[in-house]
Amino acid sequence: MARALLLAGLAWARAAAGLTSAGDPEPVPLRRGTSSTPMVRLDREFFTHADVPIYPHPKHGDTGVQRLLERERRRAPTQSAVPIYPHAVETHRLWILELVSNATDKEAQVLCQEVEICETSYPNSGELPFVVVRLTLEELKALLDRYPVLVKFAEEDVFETMNLEFIDADESPLERRTYPWGIQSINADLSRGRGVGVNVYVLDTGIRTTHASFGGRAFAGVDVATTGSFTHCAPSSTTCAADRHGHGTHVAGTVGASTYGVADGATLWAMKVIDDLGFGYVKWSLLAEQWVLSSGARPAVVSMSVVSIGSSMAEKDSIDRLVEDGVTVVVAAGNQNTDACDYNPAWIPSAITVASYGGPAGSSPAKSSFSNYGSCIDVWAPGSSILSTYHLSDTSLGTSSGTSMACPHVSGLVAIMYEAYPSAGSMNASQRWSLLTATSRSGWVTEIPQSPHSVNLVAEAIPLAPSPTTSLTPSLTPAPTTSMTPSPTPSPTPSPQPRRSTCRHRRRHR
Ligand SMILES: *[C@@H]1O[C@H](CO)[C@@H](O)[C@H](O)[C@H]1NC(C)=O
Ligand SMILES: *[C@@H]1O[C@H](CO)[C@@H](O)[C@H](O)[C@H]1NC(C)=O
């Protein structure tokens, strides 16, 4: 395997993205490594009211959103607060109102008290300040008229499919004699027992934490999807953030199960933001992400095999805060064989977006036929025919194909990176990216569509013996015995204590 040393100084140039409608909230940074062409598409359409951008959800389809936009644009010149279509039936929609960054807890509560259905987060704890309200568009506008300075933007949230892959139960016994092809393809079979002390937060359908291959390193973290309201789990709970779908357990296994996972020393946290049928809201992910920001143990990786249509501005701000705080966020590119920039959170520049290779049956360097591609891709990883842990029993396995399977390979590599470089948590994102990709090969994946252009980069596990050309010496200790039979490694002491002492109360105003 050809290896390329990639220590490029990665510029995060900022440039205003071209928008068709007025009220650009802020310029958007260009993609990593693309210094000349503005690659980011910020095409979630919006209109403004009281100078606050309002983003309807693209789920309503082109015609639904277009009708709404046209209606609002036609209304705009008259500056009239009177609806042009007074008889149109207005539906109640769920709106995420992101508040200005200096908004206080009290201001959020005052706003919330005006609305019958409103949930607040607590902005004072350092989290992204937002409230979630259920209102018709006209009711929302009336609210914005009263709080025009407090609200940064309003974004519609819908209960929608996260496009989860189907998983085939695999009959092979847990004691396999060889590592799965994906583990070998990124040299993770040569670097076992890694990621010790690193916390990987798996935002998915939950995790069967008792699976034998997790060796006691998997814990319940946060559950938003089971009841729809935020629950901080007891780490040893087997019901909170439990996986009754299978996707989350499969993904977590690829991050860090023994034999089937990349970083089989890492601590895995179940963050249930998708329900057992594969649906969720953006607000569920926001709550879990912001909990990691204020209360999650470090060093931390957020692994998100979650894909929905469109682009959430609130989720961009949420992930940006995590990345600025030393957390690496790894996301799936999506399985639509199209431009990943059209999907959330794949489009978000500060996240590492992972596309899939492996050809039709795995172990090939060809792009997986389903994988999204394009300028929002940062790295490629194995995603076809991936064998990993399954949720049916503590010894069951399953095979699946998707960018959801590629994403956790990279999350595991990031965990190895944080263990190898203890100072990585205080570095900026471009420095961490340089460390992650110092061991990588470029130009290796085949059958990537020409347009829109994608990078062609595969990250590999940091080898035990540091490369002499790498300026920063990794602090890797020799691996514990590399055993081909899954031997549950003794669990590192979990660190469920919050990093900062924050007293968390989430309140629902009804
Ligand atoms: C937040 O900043 C805005 C603009 O700078 C200012 O008008 C407002 O008073 C500030 N709010 C608080 C609570 O400090
Ligand atoms: C990241 O940190 C390095 C070293 O301090 C600095 O040279 C670089 O400009 C920083 N990059 C960004 C995007 O802040």
Q: How many angstroms separate the alpha carbon of residue 429 from the centre of ligand 2?
A: 8
How far, in Å, CA of 396 to CA of 391, rounded? 7
Q: Which of 191, 294, 311, 404 is catalytic?
A: 404
Ligand 1 is surrounded, with C-beta below 6 A, by 100, 102, 104, 149
Q: Which atom of ligand 1 is nearest to the CA of 107?
A: 13
Determine whether 394 is an active site residue.
no
Ligand number nearest CA of 149 is: 1
For residues 104 and 124, the answer to whether their CB atoms sit within 8 Å is yes
Q: How many angstroms separate the alpha carbon of residue 213 from the centre of ligand 2?
A: 39
Q: How many angstroms separate the alpha carbon of residue 163 from the centre of ligand 2?
A: 36
Name the residue with the closest Cα to ligand 2, atom 2. Answer: 428
Among 51, 101, 102, 104, say which to mutate for ligand 1: greatest number of ligand atoms within 8 Å of CB.
102
Among 107, 147, 149, say which to mutate for ligand 1: greatest number of ligand atoms within 8 Å of CB.
149
Q: How many angstroms separate the alpha carbon of residue 101 from the centre of ligand 1?
A: 9
pLDDT for residue 64: 57
Q: Which atom of ligand 1 is nearest to the CA of 104?
A: 13
Q: Which atom of ligand 1 is nearest to the CA of 103?
A: 13
Q: How many angstroms separate the alpha carbon of residue 326 from the centre of ligand 2?
A: 13
Indicate if ligand 2 lies below 6 Å from the C-beta of 11.
no
Which of 264, 183, 273 has the alpha carbon at shortest distance from 217?
Answer: 264
C-alpha distance from residue 227 to each of 223, 224, 230, 377 (Å): 8, 6, 8, 34
345-372: burial string, b at 16+ Cβ within 10 Å, e else: bbbbbbbbbbbbbbbeebebbebbebbb
Determine whether 388 is an active site residue.
no
pTM for this one? 0.82
Q: Which atom of ligand 1 is nearest to the CA of 100?
A: 1
Determine whether 404 is an active site residue.
yes
- DSSP conformational letter for 265: T
| H or E stretch at 419 | helix 403-420
Q: At 48, phi and psi to the nearest 5?
A: -120, 150
Which residue ranges in the chain fall short of pLDDT 70? 1-44, 59-90, 122-124, 176-177, 465-510
Name the residue with the closest Cα to ligand 1, atom 7. Answer: 149
pLDDT for residue 44: 66
